[in-house]
Chains A and B, each alone.
Chain A
Amino acid sequence: MSELETRLAELPVEWPREPDVTERVRTRLEAEPRRRRFRPAWAVALAILVLGGGVAAVPQARSAVLRWLGIEGVRIQRVPEAPTPTSSALELGERTTLARGTLVPRALGRPDEVYTDSVRVTLLYRPQRGLPESAQSGAGALLSQFPGRTDERFVGKLAGPDTTVERVRVEGEPGFWLGGAPHAVIYEDPSGAIRESPTRLAGPTLVWRRGDLTLRLEAEVTKSRALEIARSVQSVP
C-alpha cells in the first residue's frame, strides 16, 4: 500500500448514520405472497450450466463486445465466444391471468400460463405438437411483450459466433431472428449496468416491434414458423 492509500484508509470519514432496516425488510418479506417459481416438473431437465463467477461472468462477456445492434428495448451484441450462462432459471415474474389488450398469437392459441413483472408480460406455452420442449427454457414457447422505450431496461442478447443474427420484418416493422447456437439473455438498465438477473441461454428467438411494444418469441421452431406466429398476434378483446 502506498502512503497515499494508507492516508486514505485512515481518513476518519463520517458516514451518515446507518439505518437499521432489518425489521422493515422482515415485515416486507413476511407480507410477500408465496412466490410462484416457474419450476414445473417438466422443466426440471434444464441443463445446469452454472459456470463462471456469478455476476462477474456477465461483464466478462460484455467486455468482448464487438458490435451491437438492436431495436428499442432489445440490444443484440455480437461476442467472439459463446457466452457463459450463470443460470438456467427463467425469470418471468409473478403468475397472472390473461388481461385484456395482451397480444396473443392466434397461431398458438391461449397460453398455458401468463406471468408479469414490472415491465413485461410473458405468455408461456407448454411443449406440444409443433412446439418441442426447448432445451434452454424447458417451455414450448415463450412470448414476452414490453414497452420498447429506449429508456426502459434492455433485454441484452449476447450472440456468439455460432448464433446467426438476421434482420427481418414483421408486418413492415423491424425485427431480428436469432438462430443457430443458443444465445445468452441478460437484463441491463439504461446505464448498461447489469441487473441482478443472471445470464440465461435462449434458443431460437424472434424479436420484433409492434407499435410501441417490443415482442420476443422464443421457441424451437424455424424462422418462417416464428414469423408466421409473429404475424398472427392480436390483442385479447
Chain B
Amino acid sequence: MGRPRLERELVAHARRGDLDAFEQLVREHQGIAFRTAYVISGSAADAEEAVQDAFVKAHRALGRFRTGAPFRPWLLAIVANEARNRRRSAARRARFEVHLAEERSSGDAAPSPEAALLAGEQRSQLLAAIETLGEEQRQVVACRHLLGLTERETAAALGCRPGTVKSRLSRALAHLEAEL
C-alpha cells in the first residue's frame, strides 16, 4: 500500500501552502469524513456542513499536525467535533439511523428467492437489534463495523480512549448477540 507515503507528501505540501495538495487530501477523505459526521450528528445536512468546516479548520491546524502521524484519525477527531457541536446547537437530537441498500442481484450468481428472503430477514433482525442499542454503543458499532474505522480512528471520532472503544464495543456486541 503506497498510501501512507503519498499521504505524508501531500500533508507536507499542504502544510507549505499548496492548496492542490490539500484538495487531494479533501478528495480522498471526504467520504469517510462525511459518513463519520453522519453517524455522530444523525443528519446528512449537518454532516455536510461539519465536514466542510472541519476541512477548513484542519487546514488552519496543519501546522500542528505531527509529521508522520496518520492523517485520518487526526482529521476524524476534528470532523467529529464539528458534528457534535452542530448536533448540540441544533437542539433537535437526530439519531443516526441505519438504512439498508436495496438488494442488488449479483449477476448470474443470483441467490434463489428463498435464500434471498432468508438473508433479508436476518438483516432485518440485525437492524432491529442495532436499533435497541444505546447511542454510544450504536456509534461505536457503526464506526468500527459499518464504517470499518480502526480502533484508533474510532477513538478519535468518539473522543475517547482506544480502551474505551474496546470495552464499549464488546458490550455492544454482547447486547446484539443477546437480542438476536
Contact = CB atoms under 8 A, between A and B. Distances in A.
B66 interface: yes
Contacts of B103: 12
A216 to B, nearest CB: 21
B117 interface: no
Contact of A196 (B47, B81, B123, B173): B81
Interface residues of A, number: 47
Interface string B58-89: 11110111100100011001101100110010
A31 to B, nearest CB: 10
Nearest to A35: B60
Nearest to A1: B145
A198 B48 contact: no
Given A59-B160, A59-B161, A25 B52 contact: yes
Contact of A89 (B64, B77, B127, B162): B64
B118 interface: no
B84 A189 contact: yes
Given A8-B145, A14-B99, A18-B35, A86 B66 contact: yes
Interface centre among A17, A20, A59, A190 (most CB of B within 10 A): A59
Contact of B101 (A13, A21, A60, A195): A13
B35 A15 contact: yes
A67 interface: no
B11 interface: no
Give the secondary structure class of A's interface.
loop
Contacts of B180: 4
B123 A11 contact: yes
Q: How large is the interface on B (under 10, 10 to 19, 20 to 34, 35 or more residues)?
A: 35 or more
A50 B26 contact: no
Interface string A213-236: 000000000000000000000000
Contact of A189 (B57, B85, B156): B85
Contacts of B88: 189-191
A201 B96 CA distance: 38
Nearest to A9: B145
B100 interface: yes
A21 B161 contact: no
Given A25-B23, A59-B159, A8 B56 contact: no
B57 A8 contact: no
Given A7-B122, A14-B101, A196-B57, A87 B23 contact: no
A45 to B, nearest CB: 18
Nearest to B98: A13
Interface in A32-70: 32, 35, 37, 50, 53-56, 59-60, 63
Contacts of A189: 81, 84-85, 88
Given A8-B145, A15-B38, A21 B51 contact: yes
B159 A194 contact: yes
A15 B51 CA distance: 15
Contact of B48 (A21, A89, A192): A21
Interface of A: 2, 4-5, 7-9, 11-22, 24-26, 28-30, 32, 35, 37, 50, 53-56, 59-60, 63, 86-87, 89, 189-196, 198
19 contacts: A4-B173, A7-B126, A8-B126, A11-B127, A11-B146, A13-B98, A13-B101, A18-B31, A21-B26, A25-B56, A26-B23, A28-B52, A28-B56, A32-B56, A53-B69, A54-B73, A56-B73, A189-B84, A191-B159
